Structure 1
Amino acid sequence: MIQALIMDEKDLSLVRKKSRPVAAMLRDISHPDRLMILCLLAQGEMTVNALEDALNLEQSRVSQHLMRLRAGKHVKVRRVGRMAYYSIADARLTSIFNSLYELYCKV
């Protein structure tokens, strides 16, 4: 049985106010490659090369996806010398990926 979501007027007003930024975030992450990048980053920071290897994608493709995720402030970069380490910028995304894993991968 599906449990109903119960909201009062105050909750509904808050959801209405947050709907645009949430929709933008969902748009930003709604590509299979970006989903996989974020899934890996939810486990800890990684370099572009490590993401390339894990996903079997070309460096340019990984970099393009990371650029989109950085523009949306979903990932952050930490530089050490010439190396760039990427990680999730907002803990809410990690929570979302934990939920997605529970709902869709552990069935």
Structure 2
Amino acid sequence: MTQDFSPEVTDMLKNAEAAAGFLKSFTHPSRLMILCALVEGERSVRDLEDALDLRQPGLSQQIASLREAGFIVGRKESKHVYYRLADGRVAEFITQLHKMFCETPKKAERAEND
């Protein structure tokens, strides 16, 4: 049995499914850490390894997931690969998560006064 929905509900359902897919891509702590690091700008794989204390195999797996989701893009320069955010929604989302979970009250207060 199929259920007929109004056009508004059908659109809402499509949007909810898109949002759920978007959120699913954030469900690993290492992916969140990588995205947080990339909000600040482009970084090399080596830099991400060092900054986030992630081992290369695990980092590569999470980078592959983020690339597949369309959240990051890479460019190769000589022997190094550099990644950056590819989706502006990701930067907005990560910035808000950072404010909610990572900023101390004093940091947030200083940022507001700047």
Q: TM-score range by the shorter chain?
A: 0.7 to 0.9
- Please state if 1:29 is matched with 2:26: yes
Measure how far apart 1:42 and its partner are: 0.8
Partner of 1:46: 43
Coordinate RMSD, CA, aligned: 1.8
Unmatched tracts of structure 2, length 5 or more: 1-6, 106-114
Unmatched tracts of structure 1, length 5 or more: 1-8
TM-score (normalizing by structure 1): 0.81
- CA distance in 1: counterparts of 2:83 and 2:12, whole angstroms: 30
For the pair shown, the structure with the greater C-alpha radius of gyration is: 2
- Please state if 1:100 is matched with 2:97: yes
User: What secondary structure, in the 3-state scheme, does the structure 2 residue paired with 1:29 have?
Assistant: coil
Deviations 1:5-34 (A, max 9, x none): xxxx95x66442222222112111111111
Deviations 1:15-65 (A, max 9, x none): 422222221121111111110000001111111111110111111110110
